[in-house]
Structure formats: structure tokens, C-alpha cells
Amino acid sequence: MILLQKLVLPRILKVYSKESFIFGNSYTRMIFKFENITKSSEKSSEKILNLIKENKNITIAEIAKRISLSTRAVEKQIAKLKTQNKLKRVGPDKGGYWQIME
């Protein structure tokens, strides 16, 4: 407990204001206030299709980086788009390109 008071709390107090804390006799309560962040209404599959419209040669790794998903998540979305006949891969993995089916 002494380590917490001497080392950790001063570091936390540098980042958060004292209004974020409630100090009791035997406890310390910290209140985190978050801004209301609205979630994007655009689905991952729509984001992928939009990126492919911009660049038909885009890689899965580039897509993942641009929309902040893992490459595995992008691969799953692409597989879903292929089964829905919305997306097709033309040519080999290296040197091929994406084709959006209308």
C-alpha cells in the first residue's frame, strides 16, 4: 500500500485531475469520464469495398491497416463478400486485382 501511495498515485495524479478521485478513510475511488464517441455507421465490409473502389490492387494488409482491423478479420470479411458475389479476385494473389461485382 505504501508503494501505491508513494509511486503510483503521484504518477496518476499528473495525468488525471484531482476531481477524478474520491478519497475515503480506507479506500480511493477513481472516476473515469469518457467522451461519447459515436460508432461509425459504415460496416467493415462497406469500408473494404470503398477501399477496393479506390485501389483495385490494394492488399489485405493495407486494408487491415487503413480500417484498423486484423488481417484475419479482413480475410473473413472478404470471404463473406465473395460468397455474397459482391467481390471477386482476378488473377493470382500476387499480381492480381480485386473486382467489385455490381
Cα 5 to Cα 25: distance, rounded to the nearest angstrom: 14
Domain, as residue range, for 68? 44-100
Please give the tally of structural domains in the chain.
Answer: 2
pTM, whole model, 2 decimals? Answer: 0.59
C-alpha cell at 39: 460508432
CATH number, domain with residue 90: 1.10.10.10
pLDDT tens for the chain, residues 1 to 102: 566 566 776 777 777 777 788 888 888 788 877 665 555 556 899 999 999 999 999 999 999 999 989 999 999 999 999 999 999 999 998 889 999 997
